Structure 1
Amino acid sequence: MWDLDFFLIATIESLHQITIGELVFLSEQELVDCVRGDSEACHGGFVENAFEFIANKGGITSEAYYPYKGKDRSCNVKKETHGVARNIGYEKVPSNNSEKALLKAVANQPVSVYIDAGAPAYKFYSSGIFNARNCGTHLDHAATVVGYGKLHDGTKYWLVKNSWSTAWGEKGYIRMKRDIHSKKGLCGIASNASYPIA
Structure 2
Amino acid sequence: MDWLKDGACLESTYPYTAQTGSCSTSCAKTKLSFGQTIKSTGEDKLASALDSQPVSVLVESGNAVWRNYKSGVVTQCPGGHSDHAVIAVGYDATSFKIKNSWGTSWGNGGYMTLKRGVGGKGMCNVAEAVVYPALAGDVKPTSQSPTPSTRKPFPTSPSSSTRKPFPSSSNAPPTTKPRRTRKPRASKGGHSGAYPSDN
Alignment TM-score, normalising by the size of structure 1:
0.55
C-alpha contact (below 8 Å) 2:56/2:86 kept by paired residues: yes
User: Residue 48 of structure 1 aligns with which residue?
Assistant: none
Give the % identical residues: 33
User: How far 1:129 sits from its partner (Å)?
Assistant: 0.4
Alpha-carbon distance in structure 1 between the residues aligned to 2:35 and 2:131 = 11
SS in 2 for 1:144: strand
1:85 equivalent in alignment to 2:34 = no
Q: Give the letter for the 2:71 counterpart.
A: S
User: How far 1:133 sits from its partner (Å)?
Assistant: 3.7
Alpha-carbon distance in structure 2 between the residues aligned to 1:108 and 1:132 = 28
Alpha-carbon distance in structure 2 between the residues aligned to 1:187 and 1:90 = 27
Q: Of residues 160, 166, 189 in structure 1, which corresponds to 2:98?
A: 160
Q: Over alpha carbons, which structure has the higher Rg?
A: 2
C-alpha contact (below 8 Å) 1:118/1:135 kept by paired residues: no
1:139 equivalent in alignment to 2:91 = no
User: Residue 190 of structure 2 aligns with which residue?
Assistant: none
* Residues 1:172 and 1:112: Cα distance change in structure 2 (over 3 Å): same
Gaps of 5+ in 1: 1-51, 151-155
Alignment TM-score, normalising by the size of structure 2:
0.55
* Residues 1:61 and 1:126: Cα distance change in structure 2 (over 3 Å): closer
User: Residue 41 of structure 1 aligns with which residue?
Assistant: none
1:188 equivalent in alignment to 2:128 = no
Alignment: residue pair count: 129
User: Residue 126 of structure 1 aligns with which residue?
Assistant: 70
User: Residue 109 of structure 1 aligns with which residue?
Assistant: 53
User: Residue 149 of structure 1 aligns with which residue?
Assistant: 92
User: How far 1:142 sits from its partner (Å)?
Assistant: 1.0
SS in 2 for 1:86: coil
| Segments of 4+ moved more than 4 angstroms | 61-65, 68-71
Which structure has greater helix proportion? 1
